[in-house]
A and B are shown apart, each in its own frame.
Chain A
Amino acid sequence: MSEIIENQTAREERLKGIVQRIEGLPTLPTILAQMNRMMLDPKTTAKDMAQLIASDPTVTARILKVVNSAFYGFPSRISTISHAIVILGFNTVKSIVLSSSVFDTFGGNGSQDGGFKREDFWRHSLACGAAAKVIGRHAGEAALEEFFIAGLLHDVGKVVLDHGLREDYAAIRTDVKARGILIREAEEARLGINHADVGGWLFSEWKLNRGLVKAVACHHNPVLADEHMKAASIVHLADIFARALQVGSGGDDQIPPIRQAAWDAVGLKVEHMTDLLRETELEIVKASVFLDFVRA
């Protein structure tokens, strides 16, 4: 136990060193900052929030596209943001705005040497989000989209690193190819930290909710997520499901082993595995509207 704590402290120091090297680290998008502030006031109405969102036509269009997509399958058309907020809740709309912002910031093509294909990366992310939603449902969880968003954004650290430390990351990709190792292992070897640390750090800087921060930061080692271990475990399993389904690519084409503690924390049954994978494939199709964020 003490060793882990010591390691963590050392990691945090290393992490600080790494992120300081990153130039032009993306700051919290303004619209998200404003939404955060509004949501602190309990008297904020759906209409107030809708007025804020309406100031950004791109975000407005994206929200309406998502809420009317098969992802929510609402029986009638939702035509206004305030209607969307009323039906889907403030948090859901905020999540959509968050993913829209992340896609905007990191969505375009990254390094020009073409090693890190954004389209493949987001497809893997989408599959992981879909799997997280399905696993959450099987695990008896309620707020399923929060798992979706956590899955969708779990690898945000990879794009942050690719964006900010191009040369290092190009070398890491070369290592992955040459040595046939996991991208996480290559990151650890070269930087002493991995993309999960960076993603967690970014979301924590953006003052996003602790559950999301922990799920992203600990998706490779869920026992470190404290009270959010189940969420982190769900994302951990979802990441592996997405790799097993071979949808997109997370930077390496390997399937890491499932951590026993994560498996136990979620409480899935082996005999449900076929169902889970089939449902995930269906969920990927329903959620494909999110990929339009990148293409647009």
Chain B
Amino acid sequence: MTEPTFAQTAENLREQIQDLLALEEASRRIQTADGIGAILAETGAALQRIVPKAGRAVYLRTEDGIDFLCHLSAGASGVPGSLISLPLDVVDWVCQERRHSMIPGAGGRAVALLPLLVGQEVVGLMELSLPEGSGAGEALTQKLLAELQYLCGQSAASLLNAVLKARVEAERLALERTGAFLNDILESVNHGILALDPEGRISLVNQNAGSMLQVEAAELKGKPYREAFGEDFVRLLDSLVEQVGVQGFAMDQQLVRKELDGAELSLGIGGTPLMDAKGHPVGTLVICRDMTASKELDRLRALDQMKSQFVSNVSHELRTPLTSIKAYTDAVSGMVTDDTAKHFLKVVDEEADRLLGMIEDLLNVSRIESGKFRLRWEDVDVRAMVQTILELSRVQSQRHNILTSVADAVPATVPMDKNKMKEVLINLVNNAIKYAPDGGDVTVAVQMEEGNLRMDVTDQGMGLSAENQKKLFQMFFRTDQAQASQIRGTGLGLAITKGIVEAHGGAIRVSSEGEGKGSTFTVVMPVRSSAPQD
């Protein structure tokens, strides 16, 4: 190797200075570019100048830090928006050793992979695809490598900044959305909310509080509450803040405000300490409730109670005259001999019975509602009870075929309230007959199921829609079908049945394939070892 001449050295120096200036200019443009896209564009332009014939791609680490996503590509293997497709072992090696690598690419090209380093951290990768014929050995000089590494460093630092900036911006937006959401909640809640800081200044107030207290919410913020409100409310707040400070809460206090239209607005005002995330007190939270709504609720509750009381009283009062009517009818029917008169008296007696039954139902309903429903426990012969019901039902309808079965597993006696449980079965069998006007089979099956007594009453009647099955046990509920078929009923029978079953600790349910397909009522009740002392 011969020593270069002075002219050659000078020319070399001039070239180097030019290259350095160009590199410095590229670096400046990368540093001042705003956003990832602009930085990538400037990096791409600089690469174009340094290695004009090379394809290039820039990858950035995915947010989870595991993979690399292509952000820019021109004539290289990377596809923008896709993960890196270069051999993973080489990618890993480049990241681990934090140095560039060279691998054979498609079509005889040589692919250089350079890490984008900020300190020790690999924030991304740069891929250079060198064309065929300019093999890596000829293409890469020490100077080119140094230039590329410098460029990678500049680009990496700017990209990391941009990525962090974008992340901070995203977090700020998320925070803003959370803030807006919390504000929506604050303004949608039905109460007036007022936050006071430890110095007694109003730190937050929602619109509801403003309108309840007849002040402009926006003007209150930052003001001491003693200057913001009228005398009576300030006095109330004083005692509230004191109570919260001393005992950690404050019971609701009443405040009546005159509305502009003269109507009175009754407010219930309570307080709780305002705590930060660490549980340190940072003020007092004052909550103003509009008591109008809860007063309405009180009125409804009183009305409901009155109704229950009424039903209970009236049923008692109705029963007395009816008992007299029955007694006298019975007496008179013994005296008359005329067949027509006898028939009429029989109708009167039957109707009185029906009325009595209805009154009994009403009484039961009020007992169930008031919780005064008591059971008289005794050991009951279930087989005998079913037999009785069978006989009663046969009398009731000749068009229906009543079938009963009691499984052997059912114990000889089961503790229950004999009369009430009989009423349950009668109710269910009567319904089965009533709602199957065209006749058919009615089966009563009693068996043991997992230690429980299970009684199924199945009919082939008009059945029930899924919708009606849900409402069936509600008081006074009657299906449209039943009403259309003019089948009489009060809508109380099944509610009472359910009450009785539940008083026994059991449950009742209905199943039906649908309208016109019959239905099955199933009562399941636990079998107690002996009648409880109740």
* Residues of A in contact with B (beta carbons under 8 Å apart): 34, 37-39, 41-47, 50, 72-76, 80, 82-83, 85-90, 140, 142
Contact = CB atoms under 8 A, between A and B. Distances in A.
B98 interface: yes
B137 A50 contact: yes
B93 interface: yes
Contact of B142 (A39, A50, A74, A87): A39
A42 B135 CA distance: 18
B334 interface: no
A42 B13 CA distance: 10
Residue from the set B12, B102, B119 with the largest chain A CB neighbour count within 10 Å: B102
Contacts of A47: 135, 137-138
Contact of B141 (A34, A44, A74, A75): A44
Contacts of B137: 45-47, 50, 80, 82-83, 85-86
B102 A86 contact: yes
A219 B98 CA distance: 27
Interface string B138-157: 11111101000000000000
B101 interface: yes
Given A72-B97, A75-B89, A75-B90, A45 B140 contact: yes
Contacts of A86: 102, 112, 136-137, 140
B100 interface: yes
Contacts of B1: 34, 37-38
A83 B101 CA distance: 9
A82 B142 contact: no
A42 B143 contact: yes
Given A42-B141, A44-B141, A72-B97, 11 more contacts: A38-B1, A39-B142, A42-B16, A44-B142, A45-B140, A47-B137, A75-B92, A75-B93, A80-B137, A82-B135, A86-B102
Contacts of B337: none
A90 B90 CA distance: 20
30 contacts: A42-B16, A43-B12, A43-B141, A43-B143, A44-B142, A45-B141, A46-B138, A46-B141, A47-B135, A47-B137, A72-B97, A73-B93, A74-B93, A75-B93, A76-B89, A76-B90, A76-B103, A80-B137, A82-B135, A82-B137, A83-B102, A86-B112, A86-B137, A87-B100, A88-B99, A89-B99, A89-B145, A90-B145, A142-B98, A142-B120
B87 interface: yes
B406 to A, nearest CB: 80
A220 B93 CA distance: 34
Nearest to B88: A75
A142 B12 CA distance: 30
Contact of A140 (B12, B92, B102, B119): B119
6 nearest A-B residue pairs (beta carbon): A82-B137, A42-B143, A75-B89, A47-B137, A46-B137, A86-B102
A80 B104 CA distance: 13
Interface in B115-173: 117, 119-120, 135-143, 145
Contacts of A41: 12
A218 B435 CA distance: 109
Contacts of B143: 42-43
A87 B99 CA distance: 8
B269 to A, nearest CB: 58
A42 B16 CA distance: 9
Contacts of B103: 76
Interface of B: 1, 12, 16, 87, 89-90, 92-93, 97-103, 112, 117, 119-120, 135-143, 145
A45 B143 CA distance: 9
Contacts of B98: 142
Contacts of B97: 72-73
Nearest to B104: A76
Contact of A46 (B90, B117, B140): B140
A120 to B, nearest CB: 30
A39 B120 CA distance: 27
A46 B136 contact: yes
Contacts of B89: 75-76
B17 to A, nearest CB: 12
B145 to A, nearest CB: 7
Contact of A42 (B92, B99, B142): B142
Nearest to B90: A75
A278 B16 CA distance: 46
A88 to B, nearest CB: 7
A268 B502 CA distance: 75
Given A72-B97, A87-B102, A142-B120, A45 B90 contact: no
Nearest to A142: B98
A140 B100 CA distance: 18
B220 to A, nearest CB: 54
A248 B137 CA distance: 39
Residue from the set B89, B141, B145 with the largest chain A CB neighbour count within 10 Å: B141
A100 to B, nearest CB: 20
Contacts of A89: 99, 145
Contacts of B138: 45-47
Contacts of B99: 87-89
A90 B102 contact: no
Contacts of A72: 97
B81 to A, nearest CB: 27
A279 B127 CA distance: 31
Contacts of A34: 1
A39 B141 CA distance: 10
A45 B120 contact: no
Contacts of A44: 141-142
A25 B182 CA distance: 82
A75 B87 contact: yes
A138 B16 CA distance: 36
Contacts of A82: 135-137
Nearest to A34: B1
A74 B117 CA distance: 19
Contacts of B120: 140, 142
Nearest to A82: B137
B40 to A, nearest CB: 24
A41 B12 CA distance: 9
A193 B89 CA distance: 49
Residue from the set A39, A42, A83, A88 with the largest chain B CB neighbour count within 10 Å: A42
Contacts of B93: 73-75
Nearest to B4: A41
A76 B90 CA distance: 8
Contacts of A38: 1
A37 B1 CA distance: 9
Contacts of B92: 75
Residue from the set B1, B103, B120, B137 with the largest chain A CB neighbour count within 10 Å: B137
A142 B16 CA distance: 26
B449 to A, nearest CB: 67
Contacts of A42: 12, 16, 141-143
A83 B90 contact: no
A82 B97 CA distance: 19
B4 to A, nearest CB: 8
Contacts of B16: 42
Nearest to A75: B89
A266 to B, nearest CB: 15
A38 B97 CA distance: 26
A212 B380 CA distance: 106
A80 B135 CA distance: 12
A46 B135 CA distance: 10
A22 to B, nearest CB: 31
Contacts of A85: 137
Residue from the set B120, B139, B140, B145 with the largest chain A CB neighbour count within 10 Å: B140
